[in-house]
Chains A and B, each alone.
Chain A
């Protein structure tokens, strides 16, 4: 069974700092990997989707990388802002119905 691990579980940084969130997965036979953001008590907002054939995706201040062979992905957030405070979830898709999630990294950006 696919296992997804996210490190660290929580992270607190001062505003303006660049930061990296880590995601690892045990089975490299994935279709794609998706990063989501979740605000407290809310649903999931998709941030970036990386297909298995891709190495990275960028959207604004966000950059996600994928190293399928080593089972790792990183989410880089540049020039963090207080509005970035949320839980960030990594999920890998291994089949038609299987999206496996990590437990998330709770990010706090201090003004």
Chain B
């Protein structure tokens, strides 16, 4: 296992379009997290899953955002009707159940034009 994998690395989309990102966590990590990071800021929590259950969503996650983890393995984050304010780096992380250390992926950089 080579770590947390995110695809695509970059996405440029027109305002109003829908986009979907994928995250493949480390296989033995049962918790998966999505964060958003804007320029010059630290990452901010969006949502997390324990296995297939989505246990919490941040107020940052508007109703245009939806995340799934159907089989408790990979996860997808969809943004509908994208807005310019959605432009950010979207980071996925999973945690080691032994020590709860976070491992982050390389992120998906979204640019809405």
Query: Chain A interface (Cβ within 8 Å of chain B)?
Result: 4, 31-32, 34, 36, 41-46, 49, 51, 89, 91, 93, 96-99, 101-104
Contacts and interface: CB of A to CB of B under 8 A. Distances in A.
B85 interface: no
Interface in B9-53: 31, 33, 35, 40-45, 48, 50
A97 B107 contact: no
7 contacts: A32-B99, A36-B104, A41-B109, A44-B104, A46-B103, A51-B99, A96-B55
Looking at chain A's contact residues, is the secondary structure mostly helix, strand, loop, or mixed?
Answer: strand
B76 interface: no
B102 A46 contact: yes
A49 B99 contact: yes
A89 B89 CA distance: 15
Contacts of B91: 43-44
Given A32-B101, A49-B99, A91-B102, A42 B55 contact: no
Interface of B: 6, 31, 33, 35, 40-45, 48, 50, 55-56, 89, 91, 93, 99-107, 109
Contact of A103 (B40, B56, B99): B40
A98 B46 CA distance: 10
A79 B105 CA distance: 28
B43 to A, nearest CB: 5
Nearest to A106: B40
